[in-house]
């Protein structure tokens, strides 16, 4: 008897199953997650002999909730940590939250305002107590949402940037930096938010092109300046020109009267001025512009603060007490009345900075603040990437990193808030300044007071990779898991957070040997989540995705798979609800395939059989290729390719082909062949579920436990990661099955073109099978393509020729309505001809080709080729009809 030559039969109807008839994520996810936590599967052991693999989670704000960016970031991290755990690493994924100084204070102040109170009514101590109370009752909702997504974090190590241990770390490094002259206090121009009433660092300012006006003002017959902010002239203390500008060289050292004020101000020569830009004259307002401040320092100019912290004009005169937006038109009107307005241009588009929290326009403001001297720290952070101690993935984004660290300004770290790490500096009655470490005695006595400001939130989160492991104490966690293995984050906070952690990690841990001083060995950067058309998500566009809504409707696994399947290193991630529905269908496909396997006795007991059919050898060979591919893609952080490889292996090779090819074997008369297939099917599903588990953990664990009859704490998440077995790679079996698939696919395509129903059986004659090496599979091919053996009176009315010399002749008489099918095909041909005509006309238009984007032209050529192929196919089908 030839291989599988028994008469195929349909699989028996299921009598019972360990799995429900349909997959319901809501009935699985919470139960599975609670089992994982209770079993301690997420917990890492610092005393373990296993090699370490550690990720510290980018701490979400205590005020935050799970948005689609978090969902992507967490899916990638969870996929990495779950795989490493299965590979035998001591895997730590450490969770926690950031206290989010400005955002959290704003939340609590809004709640107080609703009660008719302000923080000043409570006082600092009571206000901070209210914030802690809010944090305990309402903060950290995102932690519960992380559970819904399936985050396998070690909850026993959860940290908060203001818990006792991290506060000690903050005070320790501040003192250390202060003593090393890397922290100082000075008057500098900083970014100031008139709404939040605090300084902001450069990275907390979002720039956008806003409409304004450009006004040219005549200061004298020879001096005309242009500005977008006329009100700031009230604080001018000089006019600057280039020292080599022949138009103005004779004026350098003289004075000019500042309009509206009666003050006389000097004209100075400064190389910062571009003589080719505008009139070549620049108004200098040292207290309200960073470049003007530098000019003022070089020429010993006074600095006049002309507005207060709420952006209200403070200089005496008719504009005193006006808001900046009220003062601007008032100043212009007064200048116009004096005939000093030379030109006005509006609207004038120019870059404007906004507070990243409240979107208020930021003011440059001269202020006494605390700064980090970033020069040596930034150099060390750049060197660590240049010499390979830390690798950035994808490598091309290293340029952005270097552009930032190589040109970093000193970092303003003081914030005029009450919620946060208070600056550990005390001032004495006689001008003493004392920086206090965590073990130092706090100065006491009359006249001593602590600095009122708190530290920038990013200061404490810059310590996250080592403070969360117990630094400054030399803990077992620090020894085992530092440096962490990989940081996963969006490219948009490469500057916000990554560079800061690199600086502080290298500085704080430099007592360790150099290679381990870096906070992480790899920085894996992903892009922003966008809609299916590549548009940025925005409430105004109506295209924002709520991952919690998707989890509720489609399940956490479908949400995760949708996000991961679009995640290529450094590239933006397109998603759509339709794709999430497709991911849910994929989970259902796995469920149904595993349920079918269990009903038909598939199992994982014992070794794989040594005597295997070609079909079994083929699927095992395909499995080895898939394991190898997935490993390579994971190591390169190519999550989209991981998902794509697993999707096609699961859906195409396993479900669409192997399961269908296995059906007649499982229900046939050859008991030994059926048992071998049950074991192979069990093995393939077992390995597939392990491979898929990092990305879609819930459904895979439910299925794997059912397949393996798991008991107690057994779970796929602690099962061994698959390893490719080269001995199971079988090129001959793959080639043989590829020929079989080609024949079946071509016959199915012919049937569809002829309008035959999928289940309708048709008599057919198969020729050339022996020469193609697939004669043994004829019963299977007939089973899959719904082809009957020819009987008396067989007449071939259609022929399918397949590469390799195989010909399939079919008798379709009585199976189709020839007239109706001819009408349908004729209509389809006309549509294809119309498409060809339209595409040809556009591609023949030189004007169109010159202007159209390359991708549009490529798409048009693709449409033309498809339409031409359709005409050829339809003509062949019409010819078959006679």
Question: Where is the binding site, in residues?
Answer: 539
Backbone torsions φ then ψ of 4, nearest 5 degrees: 60, 35
Radius of gyration of the chain (CA): 36
d(CA 328, CA 535): 36
Distances (CA, A) of 708 to 659, 682, 756: 19, 9, 41
**Other residues' Cβ atoms within 10 Å of the Cβ of residue 161:** 26
**Other residues' Cβ atoms within 10 Å of the Cβ of residue 33:** 21
d(CA 27, CA 694): 20
Short-list 722, 724, 720, CA closest to 86? 720
3-state secondary structure 734-799: HHHHHHHHHHHHHHHHHHHHCCCCCCCCEEEEEECHHHHCCHHHHHHHHHHHCEECCCCCCCCCEE
Cβ pair 663, 12 in contact under 8 A: no
d(CA 487, CA 728): 36
Instruction: Take residue 367 and report the two structure tokens written for it.
Output: 């202020």
3-state secondary structure 195-218: CCCEEECHHHEEEEEEEEEEEEEE
Instruction: Take residue 43 and report the two structure tokens written for it.
Output: 């917990």
d(CA 404, CA 252): 36
Cβ pair 777, 817 in contact under 8 A: no
Distance between the two ends of the chain, CA-based, in angstroms? 40
Distances (CA, A) of 560 to 283, 409, 530, 756: 55, 39, 15, 38
Cβ pair 269, 252 in contact under 8 A: yes
d(CA 237, CA 234): 9
Cβ pair 279, 251 in contact under 8 A: no
DSSP H or E stretch at residue 239: strand 238-241
Q: Which residues are annotated as a binding site for ATP?
A: 539
Handedness of CA 243, 247, 252, 255 (dihedral sign): negative
Instruction: Take residue 272 and report the two structure tokens written for it.
Output: 């910062």
The tally of CA atoms less than 13 A away on the side-chain side of residue 487 is 26
The tally of CA atoms less than 13 A away on the side-chain side of residue 551 is 22
d(CA 499, CA 481): 20
């Amino acid at each position: 008897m030839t291989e599988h030559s028994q008469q195929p039969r349909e699989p028996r109807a299921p009598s019972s199953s360990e799995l429900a008839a349909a997959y319901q994520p809501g009935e699985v996810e919470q139960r599975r997650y609670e089992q994982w936590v209770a079993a301690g599967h997420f917990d890492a052991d610092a005393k373990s002999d296993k090699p370490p693999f550690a990720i510290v989670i980018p701490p979400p704000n205590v005020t935050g909730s799970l948005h689609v960016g978090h969902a992507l970031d967490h899916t990638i991290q969870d996929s990495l940590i779950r795989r490493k755990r299965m590979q035998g690493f001591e895997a730590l994924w450490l969770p926690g939250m950031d206290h989010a100084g400005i955002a959290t204070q704003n939340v609590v102040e809004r709640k107080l305002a609703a009660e008719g109170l302000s923080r000043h009514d409570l006082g600092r101590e009571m206000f901070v107590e209210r914030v802690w109370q809010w944090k305990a009752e309402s903060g950290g909702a995102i932690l519960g949402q992380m559970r819904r997504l399936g985050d396998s974090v070690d909850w026993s190590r959860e940290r908060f940037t203001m818990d006792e241990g991290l506060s000690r770390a903050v005070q320790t490094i501040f003192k250390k930096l202060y003593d090393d002259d890397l922290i100082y206090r000075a008057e500098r121009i900083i970014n100031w938010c008139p709404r939040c009433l605090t300084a902001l660092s450069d990275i907390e300012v979002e720039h956008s092109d806003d409409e304004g006006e450009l006004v040219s003002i005549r200061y004298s017959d020879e001096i005309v300046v242009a500005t977008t902010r006329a009100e700031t002239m009230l604080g001018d203390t000089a006019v600057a020109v280039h020292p080599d500008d022949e138009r103005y060289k004779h004026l350098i050292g003289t004075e000019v009267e500042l309009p509206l004020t009666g003050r006389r101000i000097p004209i100075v020569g400064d190389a910062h001025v571009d003589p080719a830009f505008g009139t070549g004259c620049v108004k200098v307002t040292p207290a309200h512009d960073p470049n003007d401040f530098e000019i003022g320092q070089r020429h010993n100019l006074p600095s006049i603060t002309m507005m207060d912290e709420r952006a209200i004009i403070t200089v005496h005169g008719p504009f005193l007490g006006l808001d900046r937006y009220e003062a601007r038109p008032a100043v212009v009107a007064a200048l116009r009345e004096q005939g000093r307005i030379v030109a006005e241009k509006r609207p004038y588009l120019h870059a404007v900075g906004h507070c990243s929290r409240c979107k208020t326009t930021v003011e440059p403001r001269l202020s006494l603040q605390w700064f980090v001297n970033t020069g040596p720290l930034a150099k060390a952070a750049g060197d660590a990437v240049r010499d390979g101690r830390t690798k950035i993935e994808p490598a091309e984004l290293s340029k952005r990193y270097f552009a930032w660290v190589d040109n970093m300004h000193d970092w303003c770290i003081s914030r005029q808030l009450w919620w946060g790490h208070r600056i550990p500096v005390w001032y004495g009655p006689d001008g003493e300044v004392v920086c206090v470490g965590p073990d130092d005695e706090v100065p006491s006595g009359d006249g001593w007071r602590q600095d009122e400001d708190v530290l920038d939130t990013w200061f404490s989160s810059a310590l996250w990779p080592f403070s969360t492991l117990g630094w400054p104490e030399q803990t077992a966690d620090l020894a085992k898991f530092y440096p962490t293995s990989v940081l996963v984050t969006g490219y948009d906070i490469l500057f916000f957070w990554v560079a800061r952690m690199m600086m502080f990690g290298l500085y704080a841990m430099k007592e360790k040997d150099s290679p381990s001083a870096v906070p992480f060995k790899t920085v894996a950067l992903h892009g922003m989540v966008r809609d299916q058309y590549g548009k940025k998500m925005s409430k105004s566009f109506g295209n924002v995705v709520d991952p919690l809504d998707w989890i509720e409707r489609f399940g956490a696994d479908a949400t995760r798979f949708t996000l991961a399947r679009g995640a290529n290193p450094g590239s933006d991630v397109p998603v759509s609800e339709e794709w999430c529905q497709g991911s849910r269908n994929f989970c259902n496909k796995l469920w149904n395939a595993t349920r079918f396997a269990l009903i038909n006795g598939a199992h994982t007991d014992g070794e794989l059989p040594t005597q295997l059919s070609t079909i079994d050898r083929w699927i095992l060979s395909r499995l080895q290729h898939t394991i190898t591919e997935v490993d390579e893609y994971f190591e390169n952080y190519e999550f989209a390719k991981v998902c794509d490889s697993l999707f096609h292996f699961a859906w195409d090779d396993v479900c669409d082909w192997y399961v269908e090819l296995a059906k007649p074997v499982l229900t046939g008369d050859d008991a030994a062949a059926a048992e071998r297939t049950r074991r192979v099917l069990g093995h393939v599903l077992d390995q597939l579920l392990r491979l898929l588990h990092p990305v879609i953990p819930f459904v895979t664990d439910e299925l794997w436990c059912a397949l393996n009859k798991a008991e107690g704490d057994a779970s796929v998440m602690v099962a061994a990661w698959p390893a490719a077995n080269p001995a199971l790679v079988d090129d001959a079996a793959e080639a043989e099955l590829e020929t079989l698939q080609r024949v079946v696919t071509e016959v199915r395509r012919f049937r569809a073109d002829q309008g035959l129903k999928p289940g309708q059986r048709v008599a057919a004659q198969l020729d050339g099978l022996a020469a193609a090496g697939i004669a043994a599979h004829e019963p299977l091919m007939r089973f899959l393509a719904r082809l009957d053996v020819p009987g008396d009176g067989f007449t071939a009315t259609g022929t399918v020729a397949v590469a390799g010399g195989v010909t399939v002749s079919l008798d379709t008489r009585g199976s189709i309505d020839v007239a109706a099918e001819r009408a349908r095909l004729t209509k389809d041909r006309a549509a294809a001809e119309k498409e060809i005509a339209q595409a040809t006309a556009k591609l023949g238009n030189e004007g169109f080709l010159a202007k159209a984007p390359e991708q549009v032209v490529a798409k048009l050529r693709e449409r033309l080729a498809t339409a031409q192929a359709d005409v050829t196919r339809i003509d062949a089908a019409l010819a078959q009809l006679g």
